[in-house]
Copies of this chain bind each other. A is one copy, B any other.
C-alpha cells in the first residue's frame, strides 16, 4: 500500500487534477491520497489558502468579506465546471464556507485555523467527486471521522499518539481514500492546523499509520538536485539518498520537504519518494534509511550564507573540565541554537545563524563569557557561510576531503572552518559569505563533472 501526497501546484486547476487522478489510477497500490489546497496556477496567482486567510482576517476586522468570499467560490467553480461536476457540489462547498465563517470569532487563531483548513478540505471533496464521476470508487475522508487528533496549538499543532491506531483502520477501506492535508481536530472537536506546509505532515502520519511501503510525495520538480540549480547550471538529480544525508544537506535551497514533516516516516523506516506531477515518468528522488554506499559516495553539496561565529580562547582551556559546557550554557541562556562548535586545544568557535542573534544578545554573551569564564580573547566574526558536502560513502572513501579542499584551493578560496566528526556523512566547510557560490560551484564540479 502506498500513500501519495500531492502539493498545491498539483491540484491548482482542473487539468492538474486530471494529471493527479491519472497518476493515482496508474498504480493500484496507491490507496490513500492526501491533497493540498489549490496552489498557484501562474506565478502571479494567489494560493487558495492565502485567499482563505485574507477572508478570515477581513471578517475578524469587522468587514463582511463578500468580495474575498466571491473570489474563493469563483476559484472552486472554475475547477468544478472544468471537471464537469454538478453544481450541487459547488453549493455544498459554498455552505461549508458560510458555516465556517459564521463560527465563533472570540479566539482569532482558532477561527483562522477553521477557515484556512477549508482549502484542503474542499480540494479533497472535489477530487473524490471527480474520481467517482469517471467511474472509480473514491471516498472523501474527513480527518475528524478518521480520528486524526492534534494538540490544541492553533496554526502549529502536533499529532497525538493515539491518532495512529485510529488512522490504521484506513487500511481496510475498499474505496480510494481522498484525505485533506494540513489539518486535524483537537480532542474538543475544533479544527486545528499544522505549521505551514503541513500537508506533507498529514501524508507522513498516514503513511506511518497504515505502514505504507512508500510515501510518495508529488511536487512540481523532478526531485532533489545534487546542488542548488540557482548556483550550479543543470545539476545532477539525486536518485536516492538517506534521511541522514537529507538532514545534512538541509542548508540552503534543499528544503524540498521539511525534515520535521518526515519525522513519522523516519521513525517508521518508510521510504519517501519525491516525484513530479508534471513529469510522472521521471525517476524522482527516494529518501531511504540505508543505501548502497559504493554508488555515489558523495550525493550533494549545499550551502548557506549569513552565519556568525563566536570565537573564544583561553590558555590551558582544555585542562578545564566543563569549559565547553559552560560556554554553550551561556549561549543556550540566550535561546540561541548553535550549528557547530569546532575547537582547538585552547579555543572554541561556536557558529550560529545571524537571524538567531542581536546586538544585545552578542553584548550579553560577550560580557558573561569574559566575566564568568575569564577568557583571554573573545569576539564575534560575521559574514560566514557554511557549506555541507554530504555522502554516506564519504567515510569509506579516502580522498574526499582532499578533493574538496583542492577544488577550493584552485579557485583561491580560503577555508575559515572545517568540521567532520566520526561516522559522519558530511564535511562542513566554512568560507566567507562572498565566496559561497564560487565554492559550491568548484566543489560540485570536482565531484560531479570531473572524472573521479
Contact = CB atoms under 8 A, between A and B. Distances in A.
B405 A347 contact: no
A343 B402 contact: no
A338 B341 CA distance: 13
B339 A318 contact: yes
Interface in A363-403: 381, 384, 388, 395-396, 398-399, 401-402
A17 interface: no
A56 interface: no
A412 interface: yes
Interface residues of A, number: 71
A412 B396 CA distance: 11
Contact of A421 (B335, B395, B409, B417): B417
Q: How many copies does the complex hold?
A: 2
Contacts of A320: 337
A195 interface: no
Interface stretch (A92-100, A258-266, A278-286): A258-266
A195 to B, nearest CB: 12
A197 interface: no
A247 interface: yes
B344 A422 contact: no
A384 B321 CA distance: 21
Interface string A240-269: 000110011010000000011001001100
A244 B321 CA distance: 20
Contacts of A396: 414
Interface of chain A: mostly helix, strand, loop or mixed: mixed
A415 interface: yes
A305 to B, nearest CB: 15
B427 A422 contact: no
Nearest to A324: B328
A265 to B, nearest CB: 11
A421 B315 contact: no
A423 B321 contact: no
B341 A343 contact: yes
A311 interface: yes
Given A324-B338, A409-B398, A426 B266 contact: no
A72 to B, nearest CB: 35
Contact of A250 (B345, B347, B401, B418): B345
30 contacts: A247-B316, A247-B345, A247-B346, A250-B345, A267-B315, A309-B421, A311-B423, A313-B423, A321-B335, A321-B336, A321-B337, A324-B328, A324-B341, A325-B328, A325-B332, A328-B328, A340-B342, A343-B421, A344-B421, A347-B421, A347-B423, A384-B422, A395-B414, A398-B415, A401-B405, A402-B409, A406-B406, A415-B420, A418-B418, A422-B430
- A-B pairs with the 7 shortest C-beta distances? A349-B421, A402-B405, A342-B421, A325-B328, A399-B409, A418-B420, A402-B409
Given A344-B426, A349-B423, A419-B420, 7 more contacts: A247-B346, A259-B315, A339-B345, A341-B343, A405-B406, A418-B418, A418-B419
